[in-house]
């Protein structure tokens, strides 16, 4: 199980693996740069508004899938091989 933050954008679920626990502007900038999107103030504001603390697990026997869940939500993620979930480890 990995800990981090999830965000839905551009038709994909994104999961950012990090040991950080607070949503900050610095974290939003890191996420923007890692996802190759502009880190303009309006974009950072949108990222912070939509960012959710979450966990990521790989499940499934025959066909593996990502299960992204957090406080009050679950069921995000998709099959590993379909390209609809992007997992990025923040350094």
pLDDT tens sequence across 25-79: 999 999 999 999 999 999 999 999 999 999 999 999 999 999 999 999 999 999 9
Where residue 10 falls among pLDDT bands split at 50, 70, 90? Answer: confident
23-36 burial, b for 16+ CB within 10 Å, e for fewer? beeebbebbbebbe
Q: Give the integer Cα–Cα distance in Å for 45 and 87.
A: 21
Partner residues linked to 70 by β-bridges: 73
Q: What are phi and psi of 18, to 5 degrees?
A: -160, 155
Alpha helices (H) along the chain: 25-34, 41-50
**Predicted model pTM:** 0.92
Where residue 91 falls among pLDDT bands split at 50, 70, 90? Answer: confident
């Amino acid at each position: 199980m990995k800990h981090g933050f999830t965000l839905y954008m551009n038709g994909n679920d994104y999961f950012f693996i990090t040991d950080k626990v607070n949503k900050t502007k610095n974290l939003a900038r890191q996420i923007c740069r890692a996802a190759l999107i502009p880190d303009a103030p309006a974009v950072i504001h949108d990222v912070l508004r939509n960012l959710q603390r979450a966990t990521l697990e790989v499940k499934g026997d025959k066909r593996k899938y990502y299960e992204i869940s957090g406080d009050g939500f679950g069921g995000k993620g998709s099959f590993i091989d379909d390209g609809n979930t992007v997992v990025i480890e923040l350094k």
